[in-house]
Amino acid sequence: MGVREAAAGEVGEPTTTRRAGADEARALRWRWRTASLAAGWSYPADWPLDEVDQVCAAVVGTADPGPALHRLGGARAEGGASLAETLVDLAALHAVVEGSADSAGIVSPNVDAVPSPMLRATALGWGDVLSRQAASTSVDNPLTGLATGAYLRARLREVYAEARTAGRQDYLLVLVALDLDRTSGWSRVVAMTLLADALREVFDAGQTIASIGPSLAAVLVKKDERLHRTVGNLRLLTADRLAVDPHVAPTGPAEVWVEELPATYEQAAELVTGSGR
């Protein structure tokens, strides 16, 4: 019998019910923390938050956990946690709640298994805080972690100076675009974040990867005979990442193409600026 169903004379039952709920929330919090740390949470001392307790209370009770997850996402962003780490933490909560443990009793968080409403609420909370913190002078896009268009133009200036000295141009641009008109709201942010993750995985040798528009990213790469295969791998990996969520999948398939750098830096800067509009 719940608190609302308690008979008028049963004074002790609501107290007992509340105590049981609090005990259940504490137990969930402990299991969640254990699973999150095992999954690689970077700083154990930073994990406990009031927002964690609010999420636990909502999950074990009858309240919609969405608002609590939104606040948790914001708190994680304020604490310096990346979106990837925040979502792995969320996946640990989901795995614990669902009892997703292997034969040895080990919980294995899987972000792809987390329901979209939970992902949406947490990612929105994280993104809202990062949007407020964003500074126009930042060299990184705070949502995707990619370099800004301004930073890419600075790198291009260096590349053209190098080309004048060497007598040849060794670089080109790989451009990647998503169709964000096919979705809206938080899904656009998530789509670009997933694209950023795919770009960093494929181009992991120090290349400059920049966000140059709401739906467009660019990679400054050296000319390489393996580039054709690399571009193919990017298409496949991006498709896999976008397929995770039906709200995000319509933004793909990603359009990927290679641009030779024009003759002058000024033309290259205009190419970057114009492509991002």
Query: How much is the pLDDT for 133?
Result: 62
Query: How much is the pLDDT for 27?
Result: 92
Question: Residue 115 is encoded by which pair of tokens?
Answer: 């329901």
Tell which CATH classification among 3.40.50.2300, 3.30.70.270, 2.60.40.10, 1.10.10.10 matches the domain 147-275. Answer: 3.30.70.270
pTM: 0.52
217 three-class SS: strand
pLDDT surpasses 80 at 32? yes
Spatial separation of the C-alpha atoms in residues 139 and 144, rounded to whole Å: 12
If we measure between CA atoms, which residue out of 144, 156, 195 comes closest to residue 273? 156
pLDDT surpasses 90 at 66? yes
Query: How much is the pLDDT for 1?
Result: 32
Sign of CA pseudo-dihedral 112, 114, 119, 120: positive
Query: How much is the pLDDT for 20?
Result: 62
Residue-wise pLDDT tens digits, 100-145: 655 455 778 899 999 999 999 999 999 888 777 654 445 666 677 8
Asked if residue 149 lies in contact with residue 212, where contact means CB atoms within 8 angstroms, the answer is yes
Residue-wise pLDDT tens digits, 213-253: 778 899 999 988 888 899 999 999 988 888 877 887 888 78
Spatial separation of the C-alpha atoms in residues 97 and 194, rounded to whole Å: 25
Asked if residue 109 lies in contact with residue 82, where contact means CB atoms within 8 angstroms, the answer is no
Say if residue 97 is exposed, middle or buried (CB neighbours under 10 Å; 0-12, 13-18, 19+): middle
**Average pLDDT over all residues of the chain:** 83
45 three-class SS: helix
Phi, psi of 212 (to 5 degrees): -115, 10
Residue ranges matching CATH 3.30.70.270 in the chain: 147-275
Spatial separation of the C-alpha atoms in residues 170 and 162, rounded to whole Å: 9
Pairing of strands 171-177, 255-260: antiparallel
Q: Is the peptide bond before 109 cis (omega within 30 degrees of 0)?
A: no
Asked if residue 177 lies in contact with residue 238, where contact means CB atoms within 8 angstroms, the answer is no
Residue-wise pLDDT tens digits, 207-216: 899 988 778 8
